[in-house]
Amino acid sequence: MVETDKTDETIKSITLPDTLTVKELADELDLSAIEIIKELMKNGVMATINQVVDFDTAAIVLTDLGYEAVEKDKESIDDTVKDEGKDSKDVFQSLRYNLDNIENAEPRSPIVTVLGHVDHGKTTLLDKIRTANVANSEAGNITQSVAAYRAQSPDKRSITFIDTPGHAAFTNMRKRGAQITDVAIVVIAADDGVMPQTKEVIEFVKSANIPMIAAINKIDLNDVSVDRVKQQLMEIGLTPEEYGGDLVVSNISALSGEGINELLETTQLIADLQELKARSEDRAEGIILEAKIDKNKGITATIIVQNGTLHKSEIISTETTYGKIRSMNNEYNENIDEAGPSVPVIITGLAEMPVPGEKFRVQKNEKEAKKIIETVKKKNKKDSLKTAAIASELISSGKNESDETKHLNLIIKSDTQGTMEPILKTLDTFNTEDVSINIIDASIGSINEADVSLASISESAILGFNTYTETGAEKLADQENISISSFTIIYDLREAVEALINEILGPIVTILEVGKVEVKKIFKIDKSEMIAGSYVIEGKITKGDHVKIIRNEDVLAESIIANIKREADDVNEVNAGAECGIKLSNFNNFEENDQIIAFHINEEKRTL
């Protein structure tokens, strides 16, 4: 939130957070987003209404507008942070449920998050646990979204598991999964060891003070060293119990199942030590884990009940939306009528797309739910006409820029909020001095005619992820010659964006000088045609070569060798040390001592 100090009547001091959107800055300054965008463009920054800018960038804009910018104390973001050396933007905000009054409370199942580096076997482990083949149903065998489901430990008690993506683009989704967990299992492949995402998720878990188990996977492979992995863990401050520390380590093979029962027993034991409890008779409350739009069901949300029991037809509200639950399904898509503590469930009936990570609560009635929603300020609400106007002005202004930066305008449509985050993070990595990615609009749902109209106005390409294109939008895109591409794997989307960037940047052009000629004598064939009697000084000249005609060190013109003669014969090429007659295309203004430089133009496909 931007804070304004109005004690100074001449210069207003404005406190800015680390980051904020263009719209947030405009609202606080009581200016239009277009004015802020123009100020950013004056300083060489291309931005859209919902784009996030950092403090330094925003401070430059404020200075130009006559304000003094002050950076907000990072420590104030979280008053509970005691470590002054830790950047608060990395501080873990736990959403685990703490029951204030344990009277009449009963034990609840633990919520366990499985984390780790990509391809280290997280989803395969969970497949083995719940004896289902989720990995093969995932596009590219990579978990694209957070999934939550229940399984049984060897003593037949229930455990709720959350599977999160492991590749770098999905940082926020991993954080969200870990925020509500009671126990974290960090999967580490014995052949790879501790990798970048491994260290990242360990930091998530440590900062939240969540009990952690290190599951060393793939022990069935030959030539792997479990001790090497333990040594790597000690190098980052985690000492296994067998070496006198408090880190629980389990050796497993997700493929064969070796060690998995022991892992589940250990997980249940650690959960028991926490004495996790909830009251099933309370009105339900919990967390929105994921949300998406289904073309048949509308808005669906994956939620986890943290306390109480959720019933079909009850009215729930979050900070941004509310609705009466029309349907409830478990992880196997079976219809259910209620869900108690620690139970994940997929619901329909919300009026608008909820934000993953939001808390939900059951309300007495719709009137109460509406009242709660009205008291919360909605952020980033988009007006499509306003966005189109801003996009149009932005693009038209960008065309007049004198710099050499190329701009790629994109409209992104995704099936869920959770997948939108890594897409935008991935696209941001392409911004360089040579190319700027402008996200004209990023929203959830199918690709519709309004998206195509906006793309036409803003000269954008449309990228869809796990969504579909409506028939009307397809027809309009054909008429307007708008590119629409759809993807199910984020790496494929990344490659498509690379191809678009390479297209707008064009090929890499290199010019190679191949021959140098001096004009010795001029032969006039007729009034409009001349032959340059020449001597090849260096290299070789060939019919069809590109050439520059140089006189007194100035380039007179560029042309192409139309013909070469040696004595009376037409030839294709002449090497250094030989005389010849040269005729050029569309050039006849030769003088003696002119130099003709022959060169080849090579074009190489650009790759990022």
| Helices 384-398 and 33-42, packing angle to 10 deg | 20
Question: Would strands 13-16 and 68-71 be described as parallel, antiparallel, or unpaired?
Answer: parallel
Query: 80-89: per-residue pLDDT in tens?
Result: 333 333 333 3
User: What is the pTM for the complete model shown?
Assistant: 0.54
Residues 396-423 have a mean pLDDT of 72
pLDDT at 10: 58
In angstroms, the CA 152 to CA 460 distance is 49
pLDDT at 573: 94
The better pLDDT of the pair 446, 533 is held by 533
Residue 165 binned pLDDT confidence (cut-offs 50, 70, 90): low
Structure tokens at 148: 């939550």
Query: Which 8-state DSSP code applies to residue 391?
Result: H
**Cα dihedral: 39, 20, 491, 434 (round 10):** 20
Residue 380, Ramachandran bin (φ over 0: left; ψ between -120 and 50: alpha; else beta):
left
Query: 15-27: per-residue pLDDT in tens?
Result: 888 778 887 888 7
User: What kind and span of H or E run contains 308?
Assistant: none
Residue with the two structure tokens 């391809």: 119
Going along the chain from its start, the domains and CATH numbers come out as 3-76 (no CATH), 107-277 (3.40.50.300), 285-374 (2.40.30.10), 395-505 (3.40.50.10050), 508-604 (2.40.30.10)
Q: Is the pLDDT of residue 327 over 80?
A: yes
Structural contact between residues 533 and 523, judged by C-beta atoms closer than 8 angstroms: yes
Convert 347-386 to b/e letters by CB count within 10 Å (16 or more is b). Answer: bbbbbbbbebbbbbbbbeeeeebeeebeeeeeeeeeeeee
Q: Is the pLDDT of residue 145 over 80?
A: no
Q: Is the pLDDT of residue 180 over 70?
A: yes
In angstroms, the CA 466 to CA 450 distance is 19
Convert 127-145 to b/e letters by CB count within 10 Å (16 or more is b). Answer: bbbbeeebbeebeeebbbb
335 CB neighbour count, 10 Å cutoff: 9
pLDDT at 446: 83
Tell which residue, 116, 127, 123, has the closest CA to residue 142. 123
Residue 572 binned pLDDT confidence (cut-offs 50, 70, 90): very high
**Cα dihedral: 125, 128, 133, 137 (round 10):** -10
Residues 179-203 have a mean pLDDT of 87
pLDDT at 473: 87
In angstroms, the CA 155 to CA 183 distance is 18
Residues 200-214 have a mean pLDDT of 83
Q: Is the pLDDT of residue 404 over 80?
A: no
In angstroms, the CA 316 to CA 326 distance is 11
Structure tokens at 134: 């989720």
Query: 226-247: per-residue pLDDT in tens?
Result: 999 999 999 999 999 999 899 9
Residue with the two structure tokens 């498509």: 496
Residues 312-333 have a mean pLDDT of 90
In angstroms, the CA 509 to CA 230 distance is 51
pLDDT at 400: 41
Query: Which 8-state DSSP code applies to residue 469?
Result: B
Quote the Cα angle for 402-405-410, to 5°: 120
Q: What are the CA-CA distances from residue 575 to residues 78, 578, 594 (Å)?
A: 76, 6, 18
Structure tokens at 482: 């708008």
Residues 318-341 have a mean pLDDT of 90
Residue 542 bridge partners (DSSP): 573
* Of 179-193, 431-445, 475-489, minimum mean pLDDT range: 431-445
Q: Is the pLDDT of residue 411 over 70?
A: yes
Q: Is the pLDDT of residue 528 over 70?
A: yes
Q: H helices of 437-537, where?
A: 449-458, 471-480, 490-505
* Of 300-314, 397-411, 518-532, 591-605, minimum mean pLDDT range: 397-411
Mean pLDDT of all residues in the chain? 80
The better pLDDT of the pair 67, 546 is held by 546
Structural contact between residues 374 and 343, judged by C-beta atoms closer than 8 angstroms: no
Residue 410 bridge partners (DSSP): 439, 461
Q: What percent of the chain has pLDDT over 90?
A: 33
pLDDT at 99: 64
Residues 102-118 have a mean pLDDT of 85
pLDDT at 407: 84
Amino acid at 440: I
Structural contact between residues 522 and 591, judged by C-beta atoms closer than 8 angstroms: yes
Burial status of residue 179 (CB atoms within 10 A of its CB: 0-12, 13-18, 19 or more): buried
pLDDT at 96: 61
Q: What beta strand segments (E) does 33-108 contain?
A: 52-54, 68-71, 106-107
User: What kind and span of H or E run contains 189?
Assistant: strand 183-189
* Of 367-371, 375-379, 467-471, 479-483, minimum mean pLDDT range: 375-379
Q: Is the pLDDT of residue 72 over 70?
A: no
pLDDT at 508: 82
Residues 154-176 have a mean pLDDT of 67
405 CB neighbour count, 10 Å cutoff: 14
Q: Is the pLDDT of residue 139 over 50?
A: no
Tell which residue, 539, 541, 522, 546, has the closest CA to residue 594. 522
* Of 380-389, 414-423, 438-447, 534-543, minimum mean pLDDT range: 380-389
C-alpha 68: how far from chain center = 33
Tell which residue, 169, 163, 164, 214, has the closest CA to residue 193. 214
In angstroms, the CA 338 to CA 325 distance is 11
C-alpha 1: how far from chain center = 24
From the CA atom positions of the chain, what is the Rg in Å?
Answer: 32
Query: 255-284: per-residue pLDDT in tens?
Result: 898 999 999 999 999 999 888 999 999 999
**Cα dihedral: 132, 135, 139, 144 (round 10):** 100
Structural contact between residues 436 and 164, judged by C-beta atoms closer than 8 angstroms: no
Sign of the Cα torsion 530, 534, 540, 546 reads negative
Residues 536-546 have a mean pLDDT of 94
Q: What are the CA-CA distances from residue 327 to residues 301, 312, 323, 449 (Å)?
A: 11, 6, 11, 30
Tell which residue, 147, 173, 161, has the closest CA to residue 110. 161
In angstroms, the CA 462 to CA 374 distance is 33
pLDDT at 47: 67
pLDDT at 387: 41
Residue 169 binned pLDDT confidence (cut-offs 50, 70, 90): very low
Q: H helices of 298-448, where?
A: 366-374, 384-398, 417-428
pLDDT at 88: 34
Q: Is the pLDDT of residue 50 over 90?
A: no
Query: 33-46: per-residue pLDDT in tens?
Result: 767 877 777 776 76
Q: What percent of the chain has pLDDT over 70?
A: 81
Q: Is the pLDDT of residue 78 over 60?
A: no
Q: Is the pLDDT of residue 299 over 50?
A: yes
Residue 383 binned pLDDT confidence (cut-offs 50, 70, 90): very low
Three-class SS of residue 235? helix
Q: Is the pLDDT of residue 219 over 70?
A: yes
Backbone angles phi and psi of 397, in degrees to 5: -70, -40
Residue 51 binned pLDDT confidence (cut-offs 50, 70, 90): confident
Residue with the two structure tokens 């009940």: 305
**Mind spelling out the 3-state secondary structure of 519-559?**
EEEEEEEECCEEEEEEEEEEEEEECCCEEEEEECCEEEEEE
pLDDT at 100: 60
In angstroms, the CA 343 to CA 38 distance is 49
